[in-house]
Amino acid sequence: MSFQVSKVNDVTLIEVEGQLIVGNRQELKQGVLDKLESGDLKFVIDFANTDYIDSSGLGVLVSLSKKIREQGGELRLSSLNEDLRTLFELTKLDTLFRIADDKEQALEGF
C-alpha cells in the first residue's frame, strides 16, 4: 500500500493505492495524523486504486474520523468500488462517513 498526499485549496487529498489491511493500516493512520497535527482539518481519502479494505483498515478510518472531528475537522471518503461499498453498508459505516462517488465530488462544498 502506498498513498499520495496533495492539497486542493485547503483540503488534504490522500490517494491510497493498494489494499488497506492490518499490515499497513498504521502507515496511513500516522500519515493522516501528522497532517492533522500540522494544522490540516479537511481531509478526503480517495480509494480509486484500492480493491480491498479489511476490518482493521475500516477501524483505522473510524479512528481517524473521530480524531479529526475532535479537532473540528472532517474526513470524507471517495471512489469506493462496489465491493468496498458493500463492506461499508454491511458494517453500517456508510452512516458514519460522507462517501462520494469520486474525489472531485468529495472536494466540492468543503
Residues that bind other proteins (CB under 8 A): 19, 21-23, 52, 54-56, 58-60, 62-63, 66, 83, 86-87, 90-93, 95-96
CB of 8 to other proteins, least distance (A): 27
CB of 46 to other proteins, least distance (A): 21
Which residue lies nearer to other proteins by CB, 17 or 105?
17
Phi (first) and psi of residue 90, to 5 degrees: -60, -40
Q: Is 15 helix (H, G, I), strand (E, B) or coil?
A: strand
Q: CA geometry: angle at 91 spanning 4 and 12, to 5°?
A: 20
